[in-house]
Structure 1
Amino acid sequence: MQILSNLNTVLQAIPAGGRASLEAILESIRTLFGGDRETRRRVAFGVAVIALSAKMAKADGIVSQPEITAFRQILEIPPEEMRNVFRLYDIAKEDIAGFEIYAARLRGLCRDEDEDCQLLADVLDGLFHIAKADGLVHERELAFLAEIGRIFGLTDQEFARIKNRHILGAENPYAVLGLDPGAPLAETRARYLALVRENHPDRLAARGVPDEFMFIATERMKAINAAYHSISGKTAA
């Protein structure tokens, strides 16, 4: 799994005796992969999901088994890479720097290359998947996620669309698609097709989402498809 092999390279690049921190890890990514934009984005994405998952667990105060399972759904960790992944997880959890600083650095790293960095929304999507794994997105988790969205530069509408997809689901299919309740079927279908195009695996790969994280895209498409079929079925009836 190439992204995790690169993570090992990043961790090894931290100077001996140097303080292991998220800042040092991000600088290692920038230095090691300065001439390889695609690898740099993919490794930064992987580090973001691991590190911000750890920060979210600390903010909530409880790491449940369902959350660990959800984390491992997003990142399929082979046994030989387990130590590196959880070393990074522990570094992030213990780092005195707040998640706000790391989120801002990640946004800067991403938007140095792409003003409209959709990769940041993908990171937030993965964090929501972990947060809801125990059956409820707790108030402190939601506040954490909202602040991450703000730092990433997501609009209120973009954040609400991600939140609604995870929290409302089948209860409000219009919200999942980002539509007003009772929107005409033609508008609903147009919005649905646009979301399908936007979330096609080729589009995600083009914006730097690693193959290992396509679980996020699969779950997203399940929610989008379910919302559309719920609306179109009711309309047809």
Structure 2
Amino acid sequence: MSIWDRIGEFVARVTSTAATGVADVVEAVRTIFEGDAELRRRVSFSIAMIALSAKMAKADGIVTQDEIRAFQQIFSVPPKETRNVARLYDLAQADVAGFEAYAERMAGLCGSGRPNCAMLEDVIDGLFHIAKADGLLHEREGLYLHRVAQIFKISEEHYQSILARHLDLGEADPYTVLGIERGKPFDEVRRHYRKLVAHNHPDKLIARGLPEEFIAIATTRIAAINAAYEMIERGFRHL
């Protein structure tokens, strides 16, 4: 059974019991998937992405066709489950609870409790992917993402590295993208780069709960890391 079948069953069950807000949704994930930690992580990630995407759209006030397409790139939803995903998205948008309440609940659900939780970084990356789909990261979207990252206990330095990955490399500092200080010997830069590539390999992301359907996040991240490293490498060659 695919992750979407599971989510479809979950959404049908939650909405049938008159759940109307974030507390109901989160508690339902805790109880329904209590006996399967791996499935719980995968569903948690999916719910976080759908709910926080909905809240981001509401905060920005505009949902563009580009953002819808970006959402669909991450969420390759089978036609039979589209309605259930839409129900969850609408539930999140209609909930009177603010996005901070959602982020706090999702942080606990996804296993936060330590700084720079990798799975929560995956959620932030997915939200960036959607936010920048129209070619511009709007101010309200930027403020939203920054605040969600703070609630997720992602350090400011690490957040700046995530942000830099999503900027055009004409604007972003490649050292910031890699999360390494300028002035380091090239051998150290290369070792750091290889660790990043290994840590962010799609298999690693799947192992920590990222559903296979959302691997676009992993490939986009690796592309940004590779581009930053190549820029630094060219700079050393010209020394």
TM-score class normalised by the smaller sequence: over 0.9
Matches within 5 A, 1:54-73: 54-73=54-73
Give 1:91-102 correspondences, 5 Å limit.
Answer: 91-102=91-102
1:224 equivalent in structure 2 = 225
In 2: Cα distance, 1:79 partner to 1:24 partner: 26
Q: Which residue does 2:186 correspond to in 1?
A: 185
Q: How far apart in 1 are the matches of 2:212 and 2:125?
A: 16
**TM-fit CA distance, 1:170:** 4.6
Q: Does 1:124 align with 2:129?
A: no
Give the match's secondary structure for 2:23.
helix
Unaligned runs of 5+ in 2: none
Instruction: State the SS of the aligned residue for 2:11.
Output: helix
Match of 1:43 in 2: 43
* Alignment partners' CA distance in 2, 1:143 and 1:85: 26
Unmatched 5+ stretches in structure 1:
none
Matched letter for residue 214 of structure 1: I
- Given that 2:19 and 2:25 are in contact with CA atoms closer than 8 Å, whether structure 1 keeps it comes out as no
Contact 1:170 1:227 (8 Å CA) reproduced? no
Q: Which amino acid aligns with 2:105?
A: R
Provide the aligned length of Structure 1 versus Structure 2.
236
CA shift, 1:127, in A, is 0.3
Equivalent residue for 1:108?
Answer: 108
Identity of aligned residues (%): 50
Q: TM-score, normalised by structure 1?
A: 0.93
| Change in 2 beyond 3 A, CA 1:202/1:152 | same
Alpha-carbon distance change, 16 to 216 in structure 1, aligned in 2, over 3 angstroms: closer
CA contact (8 A) 1:169 1:176 kept: no
The Cα offsets for residues 68-117 of structure 1, whole Å up to 9 and x where unpaired, read as 111111111121111111111111111101111111111112227x7463
The corresponding residue for 1:233 is 234
Q: Is the 8 A contact 1:67 1:131 kept in 2?
A: yes
Counterpart residue number, 2:162: 162
Partners of 2:4 and 2:81 within 8 A in 1: yes
What SS does the aligned partner of 2:166 have?
A: helix
Q: TM-score, normalised by structure 2?
A: 0.93
Amino acid at match of 1:180: E
Q: Are 1:137 and 2:110 an aligned pair?
A: no
Report the Cα distance in structure 1 between the residues aligned to 2:94 and 2:166, rounded to whole angstroms. Answer: 28
- The reply to whether residue 28 of structure 1 matches residue 32 of structure 2 is no
Most deviating of 6-15 and 127-136: 6-15
Q: Is the 8 A contact 2:186 2:236 kept in 1?
A: yes
Q: How far, CA to CA, are the matches of 1:201 and 1:22 in structure 2?
A: 29
Shift of 1:19: 3.6
Q: Distance in 2 between matches of 1:95 and 1:74?
A: 23
